[in-house]
């Protein structure tokens, strides 16, 4: 696979240069021009390799290889916003220090392109798959899955497949995902404005407020800055499914006001101090996580969008019953049911064997809080690209993928496609 490495690195770098985060859409580019151009770039690359491709109205595309029963490889080309704190251009695709830098390098442009080159390597060898491999790339995975819903309407989604958008060795279960907007009334607001966060599945790294009065001493005690008439709190972004890996900028801001205001204190009690025990709910797939990622002060209430990942064996009504304990109005913005694929089934056992063969490492299937396209399938699994012990870079500044990892992914995905 070494002869494909240089081309794969170049293609990943090119793909990163498209800002494919969600922007205002048009009739031909439903998620913004950047996402559409990124999709067109990917499909053009596949066509140059001799594959049959389809562009489904700018929502998604696919690349076909072989005939027969369909098998899916599900990837996405959209990204979360860059956010702050970058030392490299987030959309520069810079190749430096043995790494490709930029938003989407790991999540999920890099793995998508590795799968494409793995298919090319098999094709160049004369490999004739006994199934029709459909490498499907969506443009709205990070903010709603409208791409997959559209694909289901205009094309056929296979029942079995994997998504290279998570972790190795192989994922057998994914927690349920729920995004809700909670409305906490504030009777006597101690601020004129308060806002923070941009994306429901990304830990808030900046929050600011205009208080009615400022105590510089108290602000400093909470680790915040006074900038003119505003209070500014800074944190560290992370994926909403692993909020413990970030530092939520909303917490110090609310804690500052909670010292004087009981309504704000209640918000902190519910969402951060977890007085109702939501985060103590768990099963074999892990504990429930709750990440308050977007906050806005509107109409005498704090409106807070939370990313909730709940255990895979838990039913949705049971999650709602937990939220009812807050005794505030809430609305469901987005929901995805959990994924459970039998550990002993052919999909999981085959992918696990491929991982062990290519890495020389014995392993066991795992469960995660993240959500992948695999849950769109009747039988799906997450399969890479992250390894245990990797520096967490997804949804964070300075996202990168090493060239060494690209080389390994080419090897693993080629073998996986061949085996399945």
| Catalytic residue numbers, as ranges | 78, 141
CA-to-CA distance for 135 and 125, rounded, in angstroms? 19
Sequence-distant (6+) residues with CB within 8 A of 287 are: 279, 280, 281, 311
Tell me the C-alpha distance between 231 and 256, whole Å.
10
Q: Is 367 exposed, middle or buried (0-12, 13-18, 19+ CB in 10 A)?
A: buried
Query: What is the β-pairing status of strands 69-76 and 160-163?
Result: parallel
How far, rounded to the nearest angstrom, does the alpha carbon of residue 111 sit from its chain's CA centroid?
13
Q: How does DSSP classify residue 361?
A: -
Residues 6+ apart with CB under 8 A from 124: none
Integer angstrom CA distances of residue 110 from 23, 49, 79, 164, 341: 21, 18, 12, 9, 25
The single residue listed with the structure tokens 């081309």 is 7
The answer to whether the beta carbons of residues 90 and 103 sit under 8 Å apart is yes
**Sign of torsion, CA 350 352 353 354?**
positive
Cβ atoms of 102 and 91 within 8 Å: the answer is: yes
Give the up-direction half-sphere exposure of residue 394: CA atoms within 13 A in the CB hemisphere.
Answer: 24
User: CB neighbours of 284 closer than 8 A, spacing ≥ 6?
Assistant: 173, 313, 367
Reading the block at residue 19, the tokens are 């800002």
Interhelix angle 403-419/109-124, rounded to 10 degrees, is 50
In the three-class reduction of DSSP (H, G, I as helix; E, B as strand; rest coil), residue 413 is classed as helix
Residue closest to 138 by CA, chosen among 230, 43, 52: 43
């Amino acid at each position: 696979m070494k002869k494909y490495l240089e081309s794969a690195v170049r293609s990943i770098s090119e793909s990163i240069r498209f800002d494919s985060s969600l922007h205002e859409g048009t009739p031909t580019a439903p998620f913004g021009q950047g996402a559409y151009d990124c999709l067109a770039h990917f499909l053009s690359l596949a066509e140059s390799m001799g594959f049959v491709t389809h562009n489904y109205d700018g929502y998604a595309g696919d690349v076909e290889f072989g005939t027969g029963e369909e098998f899916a490889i599900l990837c996405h080309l959209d990204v979360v916003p860059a956010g702050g704190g970058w030392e490299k251009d987030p959309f520069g695709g810079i190749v430096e220090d043995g790494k490709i830098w930029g938003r989407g390098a790991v999540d999920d442009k890099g793995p998508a392109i590795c799968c494409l080159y793995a298919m090319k390597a098999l094709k160049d060898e004369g490999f004739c798959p006994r199934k029709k491999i459909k490498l499907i790339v969506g443009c709205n995975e990070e903010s709603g899955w409208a791409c997959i819903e559209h694909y289901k309407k205009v094309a056929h989604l296979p029942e079995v497949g994997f998504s290279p958008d998570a972790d190795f060795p192989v994922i057998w279960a994914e927690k349920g995902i729920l995004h809700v907007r909670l409305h906490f009334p504030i009777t006597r607001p101690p601020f004129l404005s308060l806002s923070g966060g941009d994306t429901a599945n990304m830990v808030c790294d900046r929050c600011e407020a205009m208080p009615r009065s400022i105590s510089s001493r108290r602000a400093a005690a909470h680790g915040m800055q006074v900038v003119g008439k505003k209070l500014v709190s800074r944190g560290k972004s992370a994926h909403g499914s692993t909020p413990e890996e970030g530092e939520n900028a909303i917490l110090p801001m609310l804690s500052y006001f909670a010292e004087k205001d009981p309504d704000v204190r209640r918000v902190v009690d519910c969402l951060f101090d977890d007085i109702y025990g939501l985060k103590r709910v768990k099963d074999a797939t892990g504990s429930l996580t709750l990440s308050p990622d977007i906050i806005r002060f509107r109409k005498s209430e704090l409106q807070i969008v939370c990313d909730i990942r709940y255990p895979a064996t838990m039913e949705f009504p049971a999650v709602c019953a937990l939220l009812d304990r807050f005794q505030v109005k809430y609305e469901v913005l987005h929901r995805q049911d959990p994924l459970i694929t039998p550990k002993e089934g052919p999909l999981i056992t085959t992918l696990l064997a491929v991982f062990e063969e290519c890495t020389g490492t014995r392993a066991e299937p795992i469960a995660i809080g993240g959500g992948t396209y695999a849950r769109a399938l009747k039988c799906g699994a997450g399969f890479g690209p992250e390894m245990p012990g990797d520096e967490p870079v997804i949804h964070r500044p300075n996202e990168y993928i090493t060239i060494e990892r690209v080389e390994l992914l080419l090897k693993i995905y080629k073998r996986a496609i061949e085996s399945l």
